[in-house]
């Protein structure tokens, strides 16, 4: 858990700011992928705004365009290449600086493709070199040479970078980086490196600062969030304990005590790391939301084994039962992949069986996507596209049926809702979320924004509920 000195980077921020002074420059940032990437983009925005750029959504007026890429599934690649085709004209017309960063840049074949087909970019940077963006940009401004700044080894934990957050009520806080699990379909361990956790003190101070600024909801982020500090403990790496924090459960308990914070969420956990102490901490901490994300991936024990998930269908279901027995009002969300190599109709039926049994609040469904460099990509028994789509639709139908039944059960109930802001589709309405992460819209005065409000649910729609202040 060594921390990197970022003196040079902070100095380079000042140098770029000086070059940019008085120029009224604009930037846009396009973020693809998960919340971790959203959080990285907030850090990039913090750095970039300190260098004298202001944000715009309009690519044509941007002097700097940053792509923060994802590579978990193939469709993100298609999106990047499509967008690059679009911004080429801005580079040609006004010399817009184009920077491409994030997970996809850790893949050598992608960087090669960029150089071959989109050679007009100025900077590529990876997941371990985000903090060096000011230094890279300074080099481009000084001699306009193309920069490739990608590290294959794991990056260190960086503290002390500026950050520009997108929201004023909800904030995400990265607590650990990387993944050691190597699920056989997943590219993440290859592009985000090995697990490493932030120091408890740095996390708690960040969250206390957010509470002072008025943030109400904290989402703890990590590719394997509930294995926080596990590697450090196993390897006996000296730990600076702070407020009793030496594990994920003690971290939840410490954050629960922070005044001003009303809600704590965390993503994405792994079922194998839901040890009893974590389950008990969720039960005991009143601010920790009782919606637990429990990625299933497949309901078939055979497929789970090939996926290297380290649990069987039965173990997953008994974990769900244990949580239901321990945590009052617990609900679940999950991730499911259909069409993993070798998935038979019987395997898929097992997945449907788990979905029926658990009755998830929310299911994020994915069609298996081959990722270069993963064991799954080398498997010979790939599933034909039409079979994958057929299974996906079948799963979707089951899930939507369950959700519409659940939605009806909400009607007439009272729910505590954190009001997040005005509705994006109707500015006369406010919007917020229940503990179980359901969107609720309501009529009400703007000063409810940022408050926890007790609402009566008066009607239900597929993707949101309607509520009334009680
Ligand atoms: N294909 C499809 N879905 C994937 N996921 C990860 N890798 C792949 C892949 N190759 C899904 C998993 C994971 C979520 C973030 O993305 O369900 O939990
Ligand atoms: Fe990917 Fe599995 Fe790690 Fe999650 S736990 S990031 S699915 S390898």
Contact 111, 150 (CB under 8 A): yes
* Ligand showing the shortest atom-to-Cα distance for residue 298: 1
Domain boundary among 99, 115, 149: 149
What is the CA(17)–ligand 2 centre distance, in A? 39
Separation of CA 261 and ligand 2 centre (Å): 29
| pLDDT recorded at residue 155 | 73
Q: Domain ends where: 246, 261, 288? A: 288
Q: Whose CA is nearest to atom 18 of ligand 1?
A: 335
Contact 350, 299 (CB under 8 A): yes
Per-residue model confidence as pLDDT tens digits over 2-17: 566 688 889 999 999 9
From the CB of 297, is ligand 2 less than 6 Å away? no
- Mind listing the pLDDT tens digit for each residue in 28-74? 999 998 899 999 999 999 999 999 999 999 999 999 999 999 999 98
Ligand nearest to the CA of 223: 2
414-422 and 452-460 strand pairing: antiparallel
Residue 145 and residue 7 in one domain: yes
Q: Is the CB of residue 179 below 6 angstroms from any atom belonging to ligand 2? A: yes
Of the pLDDT bands very low, low, confident and very high (cuts 50, 70, 90), residue 427 is: confident
pLDDT of residue 4: 63
Measured distance CA(347)–CA(293) in Å, rounded: 22
> Which of 179, 306, 377 is the pocket-test mutation for ligand 2 (most atoms within 8 Å of CB)?
179
Mean pLDDT of 151-178: 89
Residue 177, ligand 2, Cβ within 6 A: no
pTM of the model: 0.95
**What does the block give as tokens for 5?**
């000195």
> Is the domain of 187 the same as that of 69?
no
Question: Which of the listed residues 33, 223, 309, 377 should we mutate to test ligand 2's pocket, taking the one with most ligand atoms within 8 A of CB?
Answer: 223
Ligand 1 atom 6, closest CA: 186
How confident is the model at residue 6, as a pLDDT? Answer: 83
- Residue 323: domain span: 290-408
Helices (H), 71-181: 74-94, 108-117, 133-143
Shared-domain flag, residues 419 and 400: no
Ligand 2, atom 5, residue with closest C-alpha: 181
Point out the ligand nearest to the CA of residue 338.
Answer: 1
Measured from the Cα of 180, ligand 2's closest atom is 3
7 and 142 in a single domain? The answer is: yes
Query: Long-range contacts of range 419-425, CB-CB < 8 Å, 24 or more positions apart?
Result: 419/444, 419/448, 419/449, 419/450, 419/451, 419/452, 419/453, 420/167, 420/169, 420/170, 420/449, 421/169, 421/449, 422/446, 422/449
What's the total number of domains in the chain? Answer: 4
Ligand 2 nearest-atom number relative to CA 224: 5
Could you read off the pLDDT of 400-413 as tens digits, one per residue? 999 999 999 999 99
Strand order in the sheet with 217-221: 170-174, 217-221, 263-267
Residue nearest to atom 4 of ligand 2 (CA): 223
Ligand with smallest separation from the Cα of 337 = 1
Q: What is the pLDDT of residues 206-262, one digit of tens each?
A: 999 999 999 999 999 999 999 999 999 898 888 888 999 999 999 999 999 999 999
Task: Tell me which of 378, 408, 438 is where a domain ends.
Answer: 408
In this structure, of 41-50, 157-166, 334-343, 369-378, the range with the lowest mean pLDDT score is 157-166
429 plus 399 within the same structural domain:
no
Looking at 74-78, 144-148, 278-282, which range is the least confident one?
144-148
CATH number of 332's domain: 3.30.750.200
Local structure of residue 245 (DSSP, 8 states): B
pLDDT digits (tens, 9 = 90+) for 103-117: 999 999 999 999 999
The response to whether residue 392 sits with its C-beta less than 6 Å from ligand 1 reads: no
Is residue 235 included in any domain, yes or no? yes
Indicate whether 113 belongs to any domain.
yes
Do 305 and 218 lie in one domain? The reply is no
Residues 37 and 143 in one domain: yes
Helix H segments across 360-447?
375-378, 385-410
Tell me if 295 CB under 6 Å of ligand 1.
yes
CA pseudo-torsion sign 210, 42, 31, 153: negative
Q: How far is CA 448 from CA 265, 287, 443, 451, 467, in A?
A: 21, 19, 10, 5, 13
- Is residue 162 assigned to a domain? no
- Verify that 80 and 139 share a domain, yes or no: yes
Distance 202 CA to ligand 2 centre (A): 25
Q: In the structure, what pLDDT confidence band is assigned to residue 1 with cuts at 50, 70 and 90?
A: very low
Question: Could you report the per-residue pLDDT of 439-452, keeping only the tens digit for each?
Answer: 999 999 999 999 99
Residues 231 and 242 placed together within one structural domain of the fold = yes
Is there a single domain that holds both residue 129 and residue 75? yes
- 140 plus 7 within the same structural domain: yes
* 156 domain residue, yes or no: no
Residues 142 and 36 in one domain: yes
Between 238 and 453, name the one with better pLDDT: 453
* DSSP strand pairing (25-31 vs 64-69): parallel
Residue 160 lies in a domain: no
Report how far ligand 2's centroid is from the alpha carbon of 186 (Å).
Answer: 6
What CATH number does residue 446 fall under?
2.40.50.140
Mutate to test the pocket of ligand 2, among 33, 103, 186 (most ligand atoms within 8 A of CB): 186
Q: What is the CATH number of the domain that holds 227?
A: 3.30.750.210
């Amino acid at each position: 858990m060594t921390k990197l000195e970022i003196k040079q980077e902070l100095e380079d921020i000042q140098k770029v700011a000086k070059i940019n002074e008085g120029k009224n420059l604009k930037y846009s940032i396009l973020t693809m992928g998960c919340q971790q990437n959203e959080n990285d983009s907030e850090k990039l925005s913090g750095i970039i705004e300190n260098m004298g750029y202001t944000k715009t959504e309009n690519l044509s007026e941007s002097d700097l365009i940053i792509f923060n890429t994802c590579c978990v599934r193939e469709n993100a690649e298609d999106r990047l290449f499509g967008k690059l085709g679009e911004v080429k004209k801005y580079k040609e017309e006004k010399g817009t600086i184009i920077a491409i960063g994030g997970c996809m840049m850790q893949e050598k074949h992608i960087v090669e493709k960029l150089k071959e087909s989109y050679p007009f970019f100025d900077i590529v940077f990876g997941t371990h070199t985000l903090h060096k963006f000011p230094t890279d940009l300074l080099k481009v401004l000084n001699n306009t040479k193309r920069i490739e700044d990608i590290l294959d080894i794991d990056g260190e934990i960086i503290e002390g970078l500026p950050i520009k957050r997108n929201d004023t009520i909800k904030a995400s806080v990265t607590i650990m980086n990387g993944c050691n699990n190597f699920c056989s379909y997943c590219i993440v361990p290859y592009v985000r490196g090995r697990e490493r956790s932030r120091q408890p003190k740095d996390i708690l101070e960040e969250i206390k600062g957010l509470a002072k600024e008025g943030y109400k909801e904290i989402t703890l982020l990590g590719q394997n969030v509930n294995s926080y500090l596990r590697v450090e403990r196993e390897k006996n790496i000296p730990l600076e304990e702070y407020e009793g924090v030496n594990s994920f459960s003690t971290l939840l308990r410490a954050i629960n005590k922070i005044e001003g914070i009303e809600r704590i969420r965390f993503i994405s956990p792994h079922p194998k790391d839901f040890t009893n102490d974590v389950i008990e901490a969720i039960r005991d901490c009143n601010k920790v939301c009782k919606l637990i994300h429990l990625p299933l991936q497949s309901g078939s024990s055979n497929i789970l084994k090939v996926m290297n998930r380290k649990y069987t269908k039965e173990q997953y279901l008994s974990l769900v039962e244990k949580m239901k027995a321990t945590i009052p009002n617990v609900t679940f969300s999950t991730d499911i992949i259909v069409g993993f190599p070798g998935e038979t109709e019987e395997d898929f039926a097992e997945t449907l069986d788990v979905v029926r049994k658990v009755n998830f609040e929310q299911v994020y469904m994915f069609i298996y996507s081959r990722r270069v460099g993963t064991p799954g990509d080398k498997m010979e028994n790939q599933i034909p596209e039409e079979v994958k789509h057929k299974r996906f639709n079948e799963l979707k139908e089951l899930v939507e049926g369950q959700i519409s039944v659940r939605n009806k059960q909400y009607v007439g109930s009272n729910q505590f809702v954190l009001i997040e802001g005005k509705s994006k589709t109707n500015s006369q309405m406010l919007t917020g979320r229940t503990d179980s992460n359901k969107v609720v819209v309501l009529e009400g005065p703007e000063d409810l924004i940022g408050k926890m409000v007790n609402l009566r649910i008066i009607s239900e729609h597929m993707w949101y509920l309607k509520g009334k202040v009680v």
